[in-house]
Amino acid sequence: AQSVTQLDSHVSVSEGTPVLLRCNYSSSYSPSLFWYVQHPNKGLQLLLKYTSAATLVKGINGFEAEFKKSETSFHLTKPSAHMSDAAEYFCVLSNDYKLSFGAGTTVTVRA
């Protein structure tokens, strides 16, 4: 069985400050992990993916994530938040045919 837990349902940051979104996973095999972003009334856009190459993964819009097998974590970070980062973020665990989504983290950015 596989599962994903996003540890924060809501994160609020000030513009220009760092963002940290936490994700833990459970998987009986070597995982493929993704982060997606969903802006209001939009579909899901891929931010980045981990597929057992480098443990530090860089994505679009300045986001990056670090895979830590010992901690079964795949946390997403960005050094400096922008107003356009306000959205919902999903951590996703995948095998060939099944995606398991976390419940999502809503990010608000204060001016």
Can you give the binding site for another protein, defined by CB under 8 A?
9, 30, 32, 34, 36, 42-44, 46, 49, 51-53, 90, 94-99, 101-104
Three-state secondary-structure class, residue 41: coil
Give, for 56, the enclosing helix (H) or strand (E): strand 56-58
In the complex, minimum distance from the CB of residue 56 to another protein, in angstroms, rounded to a whole number:
16
In the complex, minimum distance from the CB of residue 80 to another protein, in angstroms, rounded to a whole number:
25
Segment 98-101 long-range contacts (CB within 8 Å, at least 24 positions apart): 98/2, 100/2, 100/3, 100/4, 101/4
Cβ distance to another protein smaller for residue 43 or 111: 43
Cβ distance to another protein smaller for residue 18 or 46: 46
